[in-house]
């Protein structure tokens, strides 16, 4: 038993930045043992061979003054973004835009992780450098979207479930070899559609299975049950649903032996529905959201990386700033897509001569959210474009 315990506690290899992208196979078999007691049933204690590395990765992403750039739009969704500035959805145009993002000078001062789509993980910049290499040089941890999207959930109230567990183990192992060190799985809960107990349970179980599989492959899982903004409900209803969803999520994470120190969360902020007449101030959003976190999220979780969910760029930053006006047990930060990219994309417009101006715009937005993570954002000097809401009813990613 002593030798088994020693094996369990033995540190796994921790790789430096240069090894993120070498594609070395550092995998070791998972360790498990069974303790038997005369008066109780035997139970299994499982430890991932990547335990130390997972904790290190999570803490790196959840580092002070930094957050996540979510640039994991599928090719179809990226096409919508490009269409908004009059560009055709081609691999060359997607490559040009993603190159602009990852190569923005000094981006790593404000961004600790970047979530990529599979195409981007294997893609090179227009200069021929691997996207993953460029990120690592910027001290940004590469991540990867691993879910396969939402489909209708039979037996529910017109709700959905997230597919992608089939083959996930082999895919996450390959993504680790390619340099990814964390993963993202997004499922959603709709308040106007119930949410039904079936939909909540399905979302929680799927997230827990994904998280366990990801950790087994060396990837820190971002756990993201997004409570959609759609609806005219008030903030109290959102809070009620969020409590139920997060209770279910952490129950199934524990059931699947997921190590909480090696995960990150990507929740929605607690806000009224987008069509609610009673709007909430940043302080109200902060109060409700922090109350939810304190009731439901164990302090062992290193980072809470909020999604923006259709808020305007400024609104998302103001709300984050309000949540960081006092110390929190977790790193409370951001994992924004449109709330970081919207003005940047429009500034670029697909024109090579606008690349620097677009990158400068991205850095302004990233710095604003960095300050918000530190509780030091003032909101001064924001553009009119950054204050425009981005909610789209029934939005499909």
3-state secondary structure 28-62: CCCEEEEEEECCEEEEEEEECCCHHHHHHHHHHHC
Catalytic residue among 184, 226, 266, 382: 266
Which residues, 6 or more positions from 259, have their beta carbon under 8 angstroms from its beta carbon? 48, 51, 54, 55, 215
Is beta strand 264-265 parallel, antiparallel or unpaired with respect to 331-336?
A: unpaired
* Chain mean pLDDT for the chain: 87
Alpha-carbon gap, residue 359 to 219, rounded angstroms: 29
| Residue 266 bears catalytic tag | yes
Kindly report the length of the chain: 397
Tell me: the pLDDT tens digits for 291-349? 999 999 999 999 999 998 778 889 999 999 999 999 999 999 999 998 999 999 999 99
- How many helices (H) and strands (E) the chain has is answered by 14, 12
Domain contains 31:
no
Strand locations in the chain (E): 31-37, 40-47, 67-71, 111-116, 141-145, 150-152, 160-162, 182-189, 220-227, 264-265, 303-306, 331-336
Question: Which residue is catalytic, options 53, 73, 118, 224?
Answer: 224
Instruction: Confirm whether 319 is domain-assigned.
Output: yes
- What is the domain count for the chain? 1
Share of the chain above pLDDT 90, in %: 77
* More confident call, 261 vs 29: 261
The per-residue b/e assignment along 179-211, b for 16 or more CB within 10 angstroms, e otherwise, is: bbbbbbbbbbbbbebbbbebbbebbbbbbbbbb
| Phi, psi for residue 272 in degrees, rounded to 5 | -65, 165
Distance CA(145)–CA(168), nearest Å, equals 11
396 pLDDT higher than 80? no
Q: Residues of the chain with pLDDT > 70: what percent?
A: 84
User: Quick one: average pLDDT of 53-81?
Assistant: 95
Q: Please report the pLDDT score of residue 12 as a whole number.
A: 39
Considering the domain boundaries, does residue 384 fall inside one?
Answer: no
CATH number of the domain encompassing residue 224: 3.20.20.70
Give the domain extent around 133.
Answer: 50-377
Where does the pLDDT of residue 150 fall: very low under 50, low under 70, confident under 90, or very high at 90 and above?
A: very high
Could you give the C-alpha distances from 276 to 192, 237, 238, in angstroms and in order? 12, 11, 11
* pLDDT for 294: 97
What are the tens digits of pLDDT across the range 190-223?
999 889 999 999 999 999 999 999 999 999 999 9
Q: What is the pTM for the complete model shown?
A: 0.85
2: pLDDT strictly greater than 50: no
By the 10 Å C-beta count (0-12 exposed, 13-18 middle, 19+ buried), 130 is classed as middle
Residue 194: its pLDDT value, please? 85
Closest-CA residue to 276 (of 225, 216, 231): 231
Q: 45-54, 111-120, 159-168, 361-370 — which is least confidently predicted?
A: 45-54
| Least trusted range by pLDDT, from 15-19, 183-187, 364-368, 381-385 | 15-19
Q: What is the mean pLDDT of residues 114-118?
A: 97
Is 37 part of any domain? no
Give the model's pLDDT for residue 229: 85
353 is catalytic: no
Instruction: Specify the pLDDT at position 246.
Output: 97
First-residue to last-residue Cα distance in the chain: 50
Tell me whether residue 270 is in a domain.
yes
> Is residue 389 assigned to a domain?
no
**Nearest partner of 174 among 136, 211, 124, 217, judged by Cα:** 217
Residue 177 lies in a domain: yes
- Token look-up 């979530």 returns 115
In a domain, 336, yes or no: yes
Pairing of strands 160-162, 150-152: antiparallel
């Amino acid at each position: 038993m002593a030798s088994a315990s020693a094996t369990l506690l033995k540190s796994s290899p921790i790789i430096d930045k240069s090894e993120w992208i070498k594609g070395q196979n550092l995998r070791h078999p998972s360790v498990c043992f069974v303790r038997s007691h005369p008066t109780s049933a035997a139970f299994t204690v499982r430890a991932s061979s990547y335990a130390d590395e997972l904790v290190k990765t999570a803490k790196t992403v959840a580092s002070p003054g930094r957050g996540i750039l979510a640039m994991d739009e599928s090719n179809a969704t990226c096409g919508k973004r490009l269409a908004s500035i009059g560009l055709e959805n081609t691999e060359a145009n997607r490559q040009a835009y993603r190159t602009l993002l990852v190569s923005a000078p000094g981006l790593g001062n404000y961004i600790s992780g970047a979530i990529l789509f599979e195409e981007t993980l294997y893609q090179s910049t227009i200069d021929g450098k691997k996207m993953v290499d460029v990120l690592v040089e910027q001290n940004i941890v590469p991540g990867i979207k691993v879910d396969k999207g939402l489909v209708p959930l039979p037996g529910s109230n017109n709700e959905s479930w997230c597919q992608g567990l089939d083959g996930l183990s082999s895919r996450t192992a390959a993504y680790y070899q390619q340099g990814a060190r964390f993963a993202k799985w997004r499922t959603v809960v709709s308040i106007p559609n119930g949410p039904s107990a079936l939909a909540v349970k399905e979302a929680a179980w799927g997230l827990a299975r994904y998280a366990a599989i990801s950790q087994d492959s060396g990837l820190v899982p971002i756990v993201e049950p997004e409570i959609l903004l759609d609806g005219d409900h008030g903030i109290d209803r959102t809070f009620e649903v969020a409590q139920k969803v997060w209770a279910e999520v952490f129950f199934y994470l524990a059931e699947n032996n997921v190590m909480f120190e090696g995960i990150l969360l990507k929740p929605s902020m607690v806000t009224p529905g987008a069509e609610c007449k009673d709007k909430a101030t940043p302080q109200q959003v902060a109060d409700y959201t922090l109350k939810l976190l304190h009731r439901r999220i164990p302090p062992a979780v290193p980072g809470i990386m909020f999604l923006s969910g259709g808020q305007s760029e400024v609104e998302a930053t103001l709300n984050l700033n309000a949540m960081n006006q006092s110390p929190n047990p977790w790193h409370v930060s951001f994992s924004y897509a449109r709330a970081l990219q919207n003005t940047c994309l429009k500034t670029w417009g697909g024109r090579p001569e606008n690349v620097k101006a677009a990158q400068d715009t991205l850095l302004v937005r990233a710095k604003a959210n960095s300050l918000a993570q530190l509780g030091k954002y003032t909101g001064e000097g924001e553009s009119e474009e950054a204050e425009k809401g981005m909610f789209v009813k029934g939005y499909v990613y």
